[in-house]
């Protein structure tokens, strides 16, 4: 297992290298000059010499290839650089933003799994029934619902009209755990509805296929109860495709955080990414996208490890 993990980790290096090239190149292709953005924000009249000095301080006067390898060299030493806008270290900007994104992402995952799995089991064990049809319609609506529409509806109904939950903002967990959870429920539900639909449809399809296998028929013939057959025999094998989907959906969680955090005014990684793209803050955008890519790769590695637990036939 150790040798397998080492090989997989080494295999992630080319992926991260290509990701760094793509994001570095795309940021330079965006229209706009980060130095001119700074000038526009400060409303200051700067001479051409001052503008050239700012570009030299940020290495923007160098050819793109030189800029990339300079950034890559610093990256290998753990230095993500400094923000062009605030001149703060990128690490110092990212760390406070991680907790809100992780908290809301984990809550969205938990909500989606808790809701999706019971519905999938009921739909698979009662195919073509009204319960199955209702679950299918709900999954289709959840998959088709845009984040901004669902989030806006929840803010209006639960936040502004009924005042059951805060409409926006974030409270750190260390300051007040109860208020932190209350502020996280609406964005987590907004993010989790789409995940619920995808997980439910995949789990239902996989469980239906497993329930048709011979060993399930044999288990029933031996007199095992239906609940025992489903939970102890069928569900474990049916979880293999679901685990794969959960690993892939981690990227959707990060992508959804960009929209969700902007809607609810949450100071997380997604909102920082949006603000940094608008201000052409190259080092911050590059660091966030590279971090998201690394998290997705690690999630896929974790999925492969879970395979071995769910299916003993798998040997690395």
Which whole number is the average pLDDT over 176-185? 87
When mean pLDDT is compared across 137-141, 151-155, 161-165, 178-182, the lowest value belongs to 137-141
Lookup: tokens for 13:
């290096």
**In whole angstroms, what is the distance from residue 161 CA to residue 313 CA?**
54
Lookup: tokens for 20:
């760094």
Radius of gyration of the chain (CA): 24
The pLDDT mean for the chain works out to 80
Which whole number is the average pLDDT over 202-229? 81
- Residue pointed to by tokens 């609506």: 141
Instruction: Note every long-range contact of 177-183, with CB atoms under 8 Å and residues 24 or more positions apart, other chains counting.
Output: 180/103, 183/266
- Tell me which residue of 277, 116, 292, 267 sits closest to 195, measured CA to CA: 116
The CATH architecture one would assign to domain 98-310 is Orthogonal Bundle (1.10)
**95, 96, 101, 102: CA torsion to nearest 10:** 60
Does the pLDDT at position 43 exceed 50? no
Q: What is the pTM of this model?
A: 0.77
Domain segments of the chain as ranges: 19-76, 98-310
Residues 6+ apart with CB under 8 A from 74: 80, 81
Which whole number is the average pLDDT over 162-175? 84
Triad 212, 214, 219: Cα angle to 5°: 100
Does the pLDDT at position 313 exceed 70? no
**In whole angstroms, what is the distance from residue 261 CA to residue 188 CA?**
10
**What tens digit of pLDDT does each residue of 47-105 get?**
677 777 777 777 777 788 888 888 888 888 877 888 877 778 888 888 888 888 888 88
- Which string of b and e fits 135-146 if b means at least 16 CB within 10 Å? bbebbeebeebe
């Amino acid at each position: 297992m150790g040798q397998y993990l080492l090989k997989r980790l080494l295999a992630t290096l080319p992926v991260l290298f290509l990701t760094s090239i793509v994001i570095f190149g795309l940021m330079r292709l965006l229209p706009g000059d980060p130095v001119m953005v700074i000038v526009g924000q400060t409303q200051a009249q700067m001479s051409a010499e001052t503008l050239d000095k700012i570009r030299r301080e940020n290495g923007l006067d160098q050819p793109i290839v030189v800029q990339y390898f300079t950034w890559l060299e610093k990256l290998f030493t753990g230095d993500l650089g400094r923000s062009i806008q605030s001149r703060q270290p990128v690490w110092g900007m990212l760390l406070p933003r991680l907790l809100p994104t992780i908290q809301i992402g984990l809550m969205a995952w938990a909500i989606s799994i808790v809701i999706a799995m019971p519905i999938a089991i009921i739909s698979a064990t009662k195919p073509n029934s009204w319960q199955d049809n209702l679950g299918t319609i709900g999954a289709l609506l959840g998959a088709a619902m845009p984040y901004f529409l669902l989030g806006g509806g929840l803010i209006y109904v639960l936040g502004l009209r009924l005042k059951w939950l805060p409409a926006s903002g974030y409270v750190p967990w260390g300051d007040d755990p109860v208020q932190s959870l209350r502020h996280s429920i609406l964005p987590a539900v907004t993010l989790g509805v789409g995940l619920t639909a995808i997980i439910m449809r995949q789990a239902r399809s996989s469980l239906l296929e497993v329930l048709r296998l011979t060993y399930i028929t044999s288990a029933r013939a031996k007199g095992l109860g239906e609940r025992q057959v489903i939970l102890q025999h069928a569900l474990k094998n049916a979880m293999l495709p679901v685990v794969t989907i959960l690993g892939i959906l981690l990227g959707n969680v990060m992508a959804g955080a960009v929209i969700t955090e902007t809607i609810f005014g949450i100071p997380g990684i997604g909102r920082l990414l949006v603000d940094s793209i608008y201000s052409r803050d190259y080092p911050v955008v590059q660091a966030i996208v590279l971090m998201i890519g690394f998290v997705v790769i690690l999630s896929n590695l974790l999925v492969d490890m879970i395979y071995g637990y769910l299916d003993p036939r798998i040997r690395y």
